[in-house]
Amino acid sequence: MCGISGLVNCGDTETLSRMTSVQSHRGPDDFGLWQRHFPDGGYIGLGSRRLAILDLSASGHMPMANEDGTVWITYNGEVYNFADLRTELESKGHRFRSHTDTEVVVHLYEEYGPDRLKDCLNRLNGMFALAIVDLRGDLRSASPKLFLARDHFGIKPLYYCERGGKLAFASEVKALLEVPGIEARMSFEALEKYLTFLWVPDPLTMFEGIYKLPAGHYAVWQRGELQIKQYWDLTFPPADHRFEKSEADVADEICTRFCASVERQMVSDVPIAAFLSAGLDSSSIVAAMARKQPVRTYTITFPGKYRVGETAIDDPTVPMRFARKLSCEHREIEHHEIVVEPDVVSLLPKLAWHMDEPTADPAIIMAYLVCREARKQSTVLLSGVGGDELFAGYRKHVAYGWARHYRRIPRFARSAAERLVFALPSLRGTRWKGPVRLAKKAARSLKFSPAEAFIRNCTYLDVQQRRDLDSLKSRQGAESEPADRHLAAFDKVQHADFLNQMLYLDSKIFMPTLNLTYNDKMSMASSVEVRVPFLDRELAEFAAWNVPPEWKLKGKWRPVTKYVFREAMRNMLPDEVMRQPKAGFAAPIDYWLAHDLRSMTDDLLSESQIRRRGLFQPEAVRRYVDEHRRGAEDWSMQIWQFLTLEIWAQLFLDGGARAFAERHIGEQQLATA
């Protein structure tokens, strides 16, 4: 696992070194640079920070080349089928100097060549963001080719900035901001999307002119031009597709494929562990791991006062009992319960710097804290991200199931029910807080088509709310539809059952931009690698084409989420885990806003500060804060959204991030002096 960076026709050795050093948290074990100037005046430089996972020796140093130095790579990720690929490549005459997966990727590219990039990338089972420079050919007549690629699901990030025949790329935006001429300016188009969804969907970022290479895509740079192409997409059968396999056979095969994926992702030369909540996904991973070797697990929780009314915080006693049960039945489980009471005021700026972009999901705090504690003993963690996207595990999927049946109720009865829902108080501080919020959200979207309703259920500020906030300065040039990516994705899978359409959007938009991004950034902030066994490409493709929608979400008024996966794991998990309600990897923001963050909220969202920033109407922001504090509405996510944006702006637009960057670079220079 690493942090990568690169320059084409811009910058110099010092720039490349700073880009590499500012990402030192992504790879504390080694760093390297490779550069080349060409007869036509072109320049290419590659940088790498290494977190050693496979082959801990100096042989794994990057950037890395093939035998004759004509193909160079800087690489971030893990390819789990590298051993099989190496055997195949050795039979074709390729010679290896290390036991890393990085060198396998170099030779696989060398074998397939630039004209078969799609075939080459689809041979890789794993997660990766990479850059390959191909020096083969007549360098006197043309600059060499550069290839960028991001894995199938977008588990690893890759950012780039292209302008005027120049290109810079890196694992994190902060590295690009070290390049002369690349300035931190807000994208107002991205701001509209952030206000709508709490985060900015790919390929945009909150930085004008800086983009993310989309998941399942590669890019080719040659003669000053960048061409981006898709090499893979998750597909689904038509809505009338006839599924041939029995439920029992499908469940058995899912169990086999899932356990095989977990086993593949356990390959490591450093200590490996797993997240363990009370949920189905993480418990399934740990159960599969325990069949092979002793396992170290981590559960994070807060003191009791934080958990009042917060259904999103798991009961820590459930994973503890589950770990004990596995220890008795299989191999030893070394279970660690992490009870935290963080100084959230001082923590938020640090996490905003690591995230690069404003991301108003408090789950980033939980992810960071558990990785920080786990790093004391483990370097690799397995996570359950992806299970909900493959098998329909979110409340919005349940809401869609309810809506289908609700629309059959007579209109007068629906109108009365909706009036009752809208009249409900927020019920904060009780276990009904989450259901009330979901019910109000669903009621607002019932009059729309299923696609429009789905988008509205993902929306935190609608068109009118954004207009009420608008200061008239912030929307210049931001005329695009915030949900344009969602609508385009729906159009690509309009032939499929609507549940599968939702899963496609989740896997292509929600998951890579939010869940996978914060898992990568928060884990790498502590120099921890997070692996995601659910996002095995072959497992995902099997689930898409062999599991009927009604086996993913089963039932009407009390639908069972991830039904077929539950059946697949039934013999490996206790009933207590199977019965656990959905619980997100979240934090008690309602409590924090009322206590720890009250002063920060009043400061950062004060009238003077809002006016100085010039994005919002101060009275509109204050209305959200006042209504929330009175208990009239639950605006906790919206207030968190405003706070996150202001902290990000102070760091990246006002220059506060420079202090973080200088400290990182200074620490790296001291370490290597």
Residues 423-478: tens digit of each pLDDT: 777 666 666 666 777 677 667 667 778 899 899 889 999 999 999 998 765 555 45
Q: Mark whether 19 and 133 lie in a shared domain.
A: yes
Q: Mark whether 13 and 65 lie in a shared domain.
A: yes
Q: What is the pLDDT, as a whole number, of residue 44?
A: 95
Residues 6+ positions from 164 with CB-CB distance below 8 Å: none
Mean pLDDT in the chain? 89
Within-domain flag for 446: no
Q: Mark whether 40 and 128 lie in a shared domain.
A: yes
Position 306 pLDDT exceeds 90: no
Within-domain flag for 98: yes
- Mean pLDDT across 37-45: 89
Residue in the structure block whose two tokens are 């370097």: 379
User: pLDDT band for position 367 (50/70/90)?
Assistant: very high
Residue type, 5: S
Percent of the chain with pLDDT over 70: 90
Q: Mark whether 86 and 215 lie in a shared domain.
A: yes
CATH of the domain at 218: 3.60.20.10
Q: Mark whether 289 and 166 lie in a shared domain.
A: no
Position 626 pLDDT exceeds 70: yes
Q: Mark whether 174 and 159 lie in a shared domain.
A: yes
Q: Mark whether 552 and 641 lie in a shared domain.
A: no
Within-domain flag for 366: yes
Within-domain flag for 137: yes
- Mean pLDDT across 378-400: 93
The two structure tokens encoding residue 98: 């290390």
Residue that is last in its domain, among 536, 554, 587: 587
Within-domain flag for 398: no
Lowest mean pLDDT among 2-6, 476-480, 585-589: 476-480
Position 584 pLDDT exceeds 60: no
Position 598 pLDDT exceeds 60: yes
User: pLDDT band for position 340 (50/70/90)?
Assistant: confident
Q: Report the distance separating Cα 274 and Cα 524, nearest Å.
A: 15
Within-domain flag for 626: yes
Within-domain flag for 555: yes
pLDDT in tens, 222-231: 888 999 999 9
In contact, 197 and 183? CB cutoff 8 Å:
no
Give the CA dihedral 594, 595, 596, 601, nearest 10 degrees. 40
Q: Name the residue with higher pLDDT: 314 or 149.
A: 149
- b or e along 110-139 (b: 16 or more beta carbons within 10 Å of the residue's beta carbon)? bbeeeeebeebbebbbbbbbbbbbbbeeee
- Mean pLDDT across 31-49: 93
Beta bridge partners of 247: none
- Mean pLDDT across 358-372: 94
Position 667 pLDDT exceeds 70: no
- Mean pLDDT across 559-587: 86
User: pLDDT band for position 277 (50/70/90)?
Assistant: confident
**Crossing angle of the two packed helices 636-648 and 618-630, in degrees rounded to 10:** 140
Q: Mark whether 182 and 64 lie in a shared domain.
A: yes
Q: Mark whether 532 and 613 lie in a shared domain.
A: no
Q: Mark whether 582 and 605 lie in a shared domain.
A: no
Q: What is the pLDDT, as a whole number, of residue 312?
A: 45
Residue that is last in its domain, among 230, 258, 286: 230
The reply to whether the predicted model has a pTM over 0.95 is: no
Q: How many domains does the chain have?
A: 3
Q: What is the pLDDT, as a whole number, of residue 494?
A: 96
Which stretches of 317-449 are DSSP H helices? 317-329, 344-355, 363-374, 387-391, 395-406, 411-423, 433-445
CATH of the domain at 529: 3.40.50.620
Q: Mark whether 362 and 306 lie in a shared domain.
A: yes
Within-domain flag for 435: no
DSSP code for 335: E
Consecutive H or E run containing 541? helix 537-546
Residues 6+ positions from 259 with CB-CB distance below 8 Å: 288, 291
Domain that holds residue 158: 2-230
Q: Mark whether 214 and 167 lie in a shared domain.
A: yes
pLDDT in tens, 55-106: 888 888 999 999 999 999 999 999 999 999 999 999 999 999 999 999 999 9
In contact, 41 and 257? CB cutoff 8 Å:
no
Residue that is last in its domain, among 572, 587, 602: 587
Q: Sheet of 529-531: strands edge to edge? A: 333-339, 295-301, 272-275, 380-382, 529-531
- Mean pLDDT across 548-569: 93
